[in-house]
Structure 1
């Protein structure tokens, strides 16, 4: 069987409030589609999904962001087979079966190594993708580190390359956290508030600003269209700022 060569474009993650969204998760372009037959664990695609399952469940649970990335991955991989729906179903079944089984981790890595023995960069790309999954919630736990270290060693990834991937992701998420904090600070400024204000005070200031800047009220005063447009834009900023603050407080 000809094995599928997966070239995965690493997702770009950014905060909206306190939530991530995936962007540029691009489909892999192949000149022709493969009709899949046989055991999915004899295929690079199946082995990758099995390893993703174990990394996703490494800290005992699969988070919402991890589940979302897994869903996109299954859709993306299966889209490159002629029997797409069948392959996706089998990969999903594989994922569900592998996420609670860690006893075969090294065996799966050894299989993947055999299939990619002469392509170090491809193995490095697979590891990079697995690490992106581990980091997706911004918290690289001890168990996630341990399992990805085991995978790296079994795939014969050099220690310096593993460390470089970790450093890159840590820097990325520190930057995202700083951007999130700046966004929250700006939100408090827009509402003429501070982080020390309680929820009721925030809500009161929000309502006051909405009343002051509501386009219908501005229009009722006989203001110009420019004033109405400015009020509409300001009201949108006020609403967005209020949502960011509520999310930061778990409301």
Structure 2
């Protein structure tokens, strides 16, 4: 199998799994098989075939800063950008990131030229997101913060990048204090290091729920404290939460109201 055909198969499998797995008509078994094929091709063919860690050129002090790739069809080592299109670079970064192979992702990133030279916004964002994940994995939190604050990421990347930002600050705070953070400690860290606008839509969050979602749930609760299963699914779709999160929110809210009623009745009795 040639490298060109391999790369095309990788990208096709990734796009197919990403897009068509959203529909209920695709059997779970088919998705699982495709992911296995994709994982095998990517790890055992693409990386091991075109990236040669034992290449003497890689140890040469005059080698390019971002690393090199050895291709049997080239006269010498070349950058990944010379044999991968922008879409394929994006594809490889996303696949390695989602599969959790951070070490291989770091190796692939070293074969790329500076991200600023990319003319494709999608490729630039995928590369920067991958670099942020690698920086977090390697404990280079200062580099992570610089990456996250220096590029306006699209909303689809916000959840992952927000977690990287928060977890990095939690880890630093725990190292300084010498003990794990509790809920109050994490709250103070979030207050001290708010999310940058580059990875945040500006909407306030409370108890991990966006304020808009909480407002929808509160309005419904005042009308009907016990929503049906169908209504919970509709609320989940309207708020962007899961049905379980919606169910737990209503259960906790009813419990809090009962506690308030109980404490109020106790105070009234004791005053008699």
Fold equivalence (TM over 0.5): no
Give the TM-score band, short-chain normalised.
0.3 to 0.5
TM-score, structure 1 normalization: 0.35
Where relative contact order (Cα < 8 A, 6+ residues apart) is larger, the structure is: 1
More helix by share: 2
